[in-house]
């Protein structure tokens, strides 16, 4: 049986042709003061283990650094579940949770965070790391150890047959043949498949289900981060409405959006910004963003700022000429009515898909009245022009985890109906290249739903009025 390779391989660092002399440096400085607290992450770990048997062993890997080319990496983003449970944004980390406790260095502990060891020479190039001691201080974990001890601690636990192992799979994008890939393969060699989630009768209950249930309900701390992300996003929409006119390229709009994100403190977009004009407005996840807008175009702008891991997701559709054409107005008003129906259905206790059902009903009736489908019962006709669902959960992932059962207070969902009419021989040309989507982020409460993104105008008269006020 192979032993796990040394956990320093988590680091994925590229060896330089020369090394700088080691320098004494401080641990990383957190310049923002509104990160989620160590107490929040500690409570989430406690909530996970509270739902697992005492002999459980939870093993989670942080996301690896992803290489773009040669010695250049993509911008790092921690795996959402790992961030939720630890608050750690360092690549090359791992977490062990043991409800029943473990003996480590003569002490009984219930959680171990493995972090990359301090290396001052490397930190000159890649930035400062916490190291084990400061990770315990800053992140509030019971025990933090250098990742070099990962195999020393884990392998005996896997081999003694006393634990039921839970894990969520391995980090994405680990190249086959890489050191990390081999390490993860070795990990699997030491795990009893019968103990893995989903392995069949008598297997461990899925860890995925436990985490999904917890992550779906947002705490006050989480809502602070999410509201800030949404506020930044609505500000970007307002900037676009005030500045964009025909002749702007889609990438110029994207640049204004993401400048506004950064200017207001967002670390990065929560997803690739969608800016689709003219014929591109009918492509749901269009992300090329290279076309130059023309008079009479509508532009679908689907964007979301991310703040400390939490992402907004707000869509507005604007007329670059400042006013909607009669046909654009007719489709927009229909989508707006459908969204209003979907929002009204977003109430605690209702099925998750109630909003989709209500919005779809309104869209079908409206498309029939406009003569675009044969009747309100023409399901196939509806799906020709509205081919996606109305809602998804929102949080650490833009398409966040959740049960898709009955809605619960504290959940945040999107409501985003749309109609997309491409060029087609059987469609009157007056409707061609009209794509309209309106999307808002909605908090489920004990009472009426709360539209968190209401600061971005969504009624026709409001949009046109703001577009007349050129900044």
Q: Could you please report the per-residue DSSP string of 159-184?
A: HSS--EEE-----TT--TTSHHHHHH
**For the stretch 338-360, what's the b/e string if a residue is b when 16 or more beta carbons lie within 10 angstroms of its beta carbon?**
bbbbbbbbbbeebebbbbbebbb
Active site residues: 71, 285, 302, 313, 388, 392, 399, 416, 420, 437, 439
User: In whole angstroms, what is the distance from residue 160 CA to residue 119 CA?
Assistant: 34
Q: Which residues pair with 421 in a beta bridge?
A: 434
Identify the three-state secondary structure at position 88: coil
The closest alpha carbon to 401, from 267, 248, 208, belongs to 208
What is the longest distance spanned by two Cα atoms in the chain?
78
Tens of pLDDT, residue by residue, the chain (471 residues): 333 333 333 433 333 444 444 444 466 777 888 999 999 999 999 999 999 888 889 999 898 888 899 989 999 999 999 999 999 999 889 999 999 999 999 999 999 999 989 989 988 988 899 999 999 999 999 999 998 888 888 878 877 778 888 888 666 555 565 544 555 566 666 655 444 443 332 233 478 899 999 999 999 999 999 999 999 999 999 999 999 999 999 999 999 999 999 999 999 999 999 999 999 999 999 999 999 999 999 999 999 999 999 999 999 999 999 999 999 999 999 999 999 999 999 999 999 999 999 999 999 999 999 999 999 999 999 999 999 999 999 999 999 999 999 999 999 999 999 999 999 999 999 999 999 999 999 999 999 999 999 999 999 999 999 999 865
Domains and CATH numbers, the chain: 7-215 (3.40.350.10), 217-468 (3.90.230.10)
Phi, psi of 10 (to 5 degrees): -55, -30
List, in order, residues 6 or more apart from 250 with CB less than 8 Å away: 275, 276, 277, 280, 288, 289, 290, 291, 292, 293, 299
Directed axis angle between helix 220-243 and helix 460-468, to 10°? 60
**Number of other CB atoms surrounding residue 158 within 10 Å:** 21
User: In whole angstroms, what is the distance from residue 196 CA to residue 184 CA?
Assistant: 15
**Number of other CB atoms surrounding residue 428 within 10 Å:** 12
């Amino acid at each position: 049986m192979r032993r796990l390779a040394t956990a320093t391989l988590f680091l994925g660092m590229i060896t330089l042709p020369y090394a700088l002399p080691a320098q004494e440096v401080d641990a990383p400085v957190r310049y923002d003061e509104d990160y989620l607290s160590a107490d929040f992450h500690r409570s989430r770990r406690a909530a996970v283990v509270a739902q697992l048997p005492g002999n459980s062993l939870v093993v989670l890997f942080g996301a690896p650094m992803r290489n773009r080319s040669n010695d250049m990496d993509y911008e790092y983003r921690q795996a959402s579940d790992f961030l939720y449970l630890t608050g750690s944004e360092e690549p090359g980390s791992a977490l062990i949770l043991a409800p029943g406790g473990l003996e480590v260095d003569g002490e009984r502990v219930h959680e171990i965070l493995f972090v990359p060891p301090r290396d001052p020479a490397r930190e000159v190039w890649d930035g400062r790391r916490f190291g084990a001691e400061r990770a315990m201080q800053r992140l509030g974990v019971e025990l933090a150890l250098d990742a070099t001890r990962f195999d020393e601690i884990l392998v005996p636990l896997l081999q003694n047959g006393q634990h039921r192992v839970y894990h969520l799979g391995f980090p994405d994008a680990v190249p086959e043949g890489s050191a990390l890939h081999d390490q993860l393969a070795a990990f699997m060699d030491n795990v009893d498949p019968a103990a893995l989630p989903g392995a069949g009768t008598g297997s461990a209950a899925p860890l995925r289900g436990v985490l999904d249930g917890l992550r779906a309900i947002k705490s006050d701390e989480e809502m602070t981060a999410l509201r800030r992300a949404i506020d930044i996003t609505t500000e970007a929409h307002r900037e676009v409405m005030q500045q964009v006119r025909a002749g702007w390229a889609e990438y110029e709009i994207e640049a204004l959006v993401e400048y506004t994100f950064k200017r207001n403190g967002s670390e990065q977009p929560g997803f690739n910004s969608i800016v689709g004009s003219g014929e591109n407005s009918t492509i749901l996840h269009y992300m090329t963003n290279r076309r130059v807008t023309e008079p009479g175009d509508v532009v679908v702008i689907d964007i979301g700022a991310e703040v400390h891991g939490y992402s907004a997701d707000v869509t507005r559709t604007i007329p670059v000429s400042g006013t909607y054409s009669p046909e654009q107005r007719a489709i927009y008003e229909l989508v707006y009515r459908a969204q209003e129906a979907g929002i009204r259905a977003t109430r605690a206790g209702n099925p998750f898909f109630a909003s989709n059902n209500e919005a779809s009903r309104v869209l079908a009736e409206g498309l029939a009245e406009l003569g675009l489908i044969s009747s309100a019962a023409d399901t196939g006709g509806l799906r020709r022009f509205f081919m996606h669902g109305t809602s998804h959960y929102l949080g650490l992932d833009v398409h966040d985890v959740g049960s898709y059962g009955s809605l619960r207070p504290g959940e945040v969902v999107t409501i985003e109906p749309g109609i997309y009419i491409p060029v087609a021989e059987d469609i009157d040309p007056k409707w061609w290249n009209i794509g309209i989507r309106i999307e808002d982020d909605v908090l489920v409460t004990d009472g009426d739903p709360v539209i968190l993104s209401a600061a971005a105008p969504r009624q026709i008269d409001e949009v046109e009025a703001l577009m007349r006020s050129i900044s």
